[in-house]
Amino acid sequence: MNIPQASMLVGTVLSVLLCSAQAQAHWCDDMWVSSYNIVVRPDSDTSPKELYVQNNMGYQLINFKLTATAGSGAITLTAPTTLKVAGTLLPAEKGTWKIASGSPAKIEDITFSVSFGNSGQSGRYPTTGAKAVMIVKTDGTLYPAAPPPGLDSSAGDQARSLQYPAVADFEDLNTGLDKLLQLYCAGRASWNTGSEAVSPSYCKDTSSTTCPTTKPTSDSGTKYDYMHLWAGGELAVRKESLGARAAVFRARLQCAVNDADVGFAGYAMFILGYLGDDANTRTFLQTQASGTGDLATIAKAALYLMGDTTQKAGVQTGAQSSSVFVQAACAAALGIVDKDDATVTSALIPLVKWNEPDTSDDGKGLYAGHILEIVAFERRGWVAKGVGTGAVTFYGETGSGAGGATGTGGATGRGGATGSGGATSAGGTTGKQDAATTGGDARLATGGASGSGGATGRGGANGSGGASGRGGANGSGGATSSVGGSGSGGGSGSGGANGSGGANGSGGTTGTGSTVPPGGDSGGCKCNLGSHGSGPASSILLIAASALLLLRRRRR
């Protein structure tokens, strides 16, 4: 090997290492720094035999496992075989786990643990000192009682859209809803795309709104953008309790529609329709629907949700669109208005993917999941400090489990929407960089709101040493890239084993050959660094070292 060849090899190896460091995803664990997003309700508060387990997240939990222990001894649980997607707990889905062995005297005697995702990805759930699940007893009381320990952790700023709903559900309803409303603010142009902060000039309090004048570009958002975005869906699920916040939220959603990315704008548009009929909002949506393109079709779905039956034909056509954003919104509208389970099953659920959003996926897989969450809770009903009992028939449910009864619809249209115009200038964009989280990565923001840090062009700077191994790091190997592969715990890539029971296992199953069922996906960690498997990185470093030694010898 001559010197130029050796230099080329060294450069290639270093490029691979740099790419690996950048690709090591916050997706592996940072999004799950939360607690009490899973609810357990027993068939009896004493000597329970069956446990109704509900996913309160807008994420589908692939490879979901529930385990239990008690002071009286080991407990063996039998998982349900009737989940819509095997091994996956879809958004707002409820399954029944049976106690196969062990005899806990009280439901409070049981300590629950959960895992989900590809190997090691749920390692930071729950937060330190918190419980994995909230137990809603048959007598209506909660365990642990409010305030739940660890829920108000200051850690996990990338998971506020999971933390604040749990605050609303199990600690203080008004506090949680106010936090969600401020987290969403006025859409992507109002967010600091490198942190959980928002620009206060656009939402200085929970009763006022000023629309940004800037329009974000058609580009996938940062990891923080998607955390802000999903807060809007969590507010929509809890629309019955919004009160005066509903009018403020409508105004902010109209601001958020001014976004060149269909995912960000379309999600806001869909929620506007789901909140119910409102004169000002209807006029706004009619203007949007009179245009052409994907957003016009999503506006028709929103109007259909408001009760405009003349939009049905357009919505039915949209449910067959090649655009994931359009197809998901239209299928969901049919699922809500017409109770069309067939369309939800055939058109919406297959779009729900376990893909990292701030990539070329542009959030499509999780957009579909959070849309599905809204449809499912519309059927089940949302209850503060409880569990809705409506049957989600597209999940195969025919009746209610244990829990307090609720309605699945409810009043809408409180208050008129405020104007969506009039924006203040926040002084232009600044160059604030996203701070690296422990074990995560640091990225530059993608543009948008100024004020609280502003936004810069997307960067690629990686964080401080790869993903951490909190809560169960893989062995050597770890999750592989999107073309499948092996390694300890190695979830496969596209074409490999996926979310509905994806291959893990030490020894590494290779991901070629398995099919991808609806609702599952083979995403997850793209590369392996740090505690997610040191084998590939060590091999590359060895190659680099060898090349450098060869280069030195040739120079002599």
Alpha helices of 349-493 — where are they, by DSSP H? 364-380
Residue with the larger pLDDT of the pair 545 and 204: 204
Residue 277 has pLDDT above 50, yes or no: yes
pLDDT of residue 29: 65
Q: Token pair of 208, please?
A: 């006022």
pLDDT of residue 13: 39
Residue 449 has pLDDT above 60, yes or no: no
pLDDT of residue 31: 86
Residue 304 has pLDDT above 50, yes or no: yes
pLDDT of residue 481: 32
CA distance 341 to 142: 33
pLDDT of residue 117: 93
pLDDT of residue 71: 83
Which tens digit of pLDDT belongs to each residue from 181-236?
999 999 999 999 899 999 999 999 999 999 999 999 998 999 999 999 999 999 99
CA distance 245 to 167: 17
CB of 234 closer than 8 Å to CB of 161: yes
CA distance 234 to 31: 15
CA distance 58 to 371: 8
Residue 506 has pLDDT above 80, yes or no: no
pLDDT band of 398, cuts 50, 70, 90 = confident
CB of 287 closer than 8 Å to CB of 254: no
Question: Minimum mean pLDDT among 27-31, 359-363, 440-444: which range?
Answer: 440-444
**Cβ neighbours for 242, distance < 8 A, ≥ 6 positions apart:** 177, 235, 249, 414
pLDDT of residue 68: 96
Which tens digit of pLDDT belongs to each residue from 346-363?
999 999 999 999 999 999
Q: Can you give the pTM of this predicted structure?
A: 0.73
pLDDT of residue 27: 67
CB of 555 closer than 8 Å to CB of 491: no
